[in-house]
Amino acid sequence: MTEGVGPDAGSDVGEATPALGGGVLATATLLTFLRPTAWVVGLAGFLSRGGVILAVVPILVLPSLAGLATAFGPLLNRLVLGAMTADVAVAAAIVITLVAIVVVALLLVGGAVDGWLVGAAAADLGVEVPSAARPTAAMLTAARAIAHLPLVIVFVAMLGPVIAATYDELLVPGDLGTPVFVRVVGAVPIPIAIVVITALLCDALGALAVRVVALDGASLAGAIPRALAVAGRHPSDVGVAFVASISVVVIVFGPALVAASVVFDGLRRLLADDSGLPALTVAVLLLVGTWLGGLLLAGIASTWRAHAWSSAYLRATAATAGPSRDW
């Protein structure tokens, strides 16, 4: 996708569907089930933006504090004592470089997904997109990244209290029956809440900025101001999309995540009890089915979420975009 991103309007649904009408939620739902192939694209976007971490949480066994200390203790001691050797420094540089490459690649996948889903929504709604609005995946990725700059600032500002609380819990643990993460959140709830709220708001701003670029051909410099202007002029549509886009992921994907975690815990118990092959086979099949079902729901939720933002943006700009968006 070097020249631009977006679906072939005739590849899945034939001719562009006429104006669908209805509110943000109804339009997003109709768009989602009008083009089921978009679920795979939506899943790719979900996984590339960190959803893969959520997807593997149910089947992860977190290491203990003793295990972490054993694994990273020598390296931390070298850093503190200034005894970092050349081979360790080179290895660390290689690891950091590889991680950076992977992160950039995943972000570009997310940008390509944005372009495809926004283009699909426009095509299915019969919206005429200007010929100049054919951004690359890199441009859409940059638009979303710029929208997240406030999150970086807030994260750095709030990092101190979180690090201090984590250090205290590791040095003098509280209730050992409670996970460290939960204890840290309980110790500094306000800084963590500020980071979470900022992340949600930046994600919403990024969703609008992507559509300003993809649907109206705005430059990166103008994407954020125009996105903020849309949100300010049409807070109801944007507010509906904001709340609904969060709720759908929690309501649709959350139960699947919990179910997969419960099934995996049951499988671990069966293995510990040395259960027979039939019971283990059923448990494995149930885990795989639950996990794959959760991924399917995540793809649907991610697609619906993208269409909700496209619907909200198109409704908000319909009054000033001319007859082609009068829907």
Q: What is the pLDDT of residues 265-317, one digit of tens each?
A: 888 888 888 778 888 888 889 988 988 898 999 999 999 999 999 999 988 88
Q: H helices of the chain, where?
A: 24-34, 38-46, 52-56, 65-81, 86-124, 137-147, 149-171, 180-187, 189-216, 220-233, 235-272, 277-321
Buried (b) or exposed (e) across 159-189, using 16+ Cβ within 10 A? Answer: eeebeebbeebeeeeeeeeeebeebbeebbe
So what's the pLDDT on residue 81? 55
**Is the pLDDT at 82 greater than 60, yes or no?**
no
- Which amino acid appears at position 93 of this protein? A
Return the pLDDT at 174.
67
In this predicted structure, what is the pLDDT of residue 257? 83
The rounded percent of the chain whose pLDDT value lies above 90 is 39
Residue-level pLDDT at 274:
79
Q: Which residues contact 318 (CB under 8 A, 6 or more apart)?
A: 325, 326, 327
Q: Is the predicted pLDDT of residue 18 greater than 90, yes or no?
A: no
DSSP 323: G
Q: How far apart are CA 53 and CA 46, in angstroms?
A: 10
Q: Regarding predicted confidence, which is higher, 78 or 250?
A: 250
Q: What separation in angstroms does the CA of 3 have from each of 58, 136, 137, 138, 216?
A: 39, 6, 9, 10, 16
* pLDDT for the residue numbered 16: 39
User: Are the beta carbons of 31 and 311 closer than 8 angstroms?
Assistant: yes
CA atoms of 193 and 213, how far apart (whole Å): 30
Provide the residue type at 214 as one letter.
Answer: A
Q: What is the pTM of this model?
A: 0.80
Sign of the dihedral through C-alpha 183, 188, 193, 198 = negative
Domain definitions of the chain by residue range: 30-321
Q: pLDDT tens digits for 129-182?
A: 877 677 899 999 999 999 999 999 999 998 888 888 877 776 776 666 666 777
SS3 125: coil
Which tens digit of pLDDT belongs to each residue from 30-61? 999 988 999 999 999 999 988 888 777 767 66
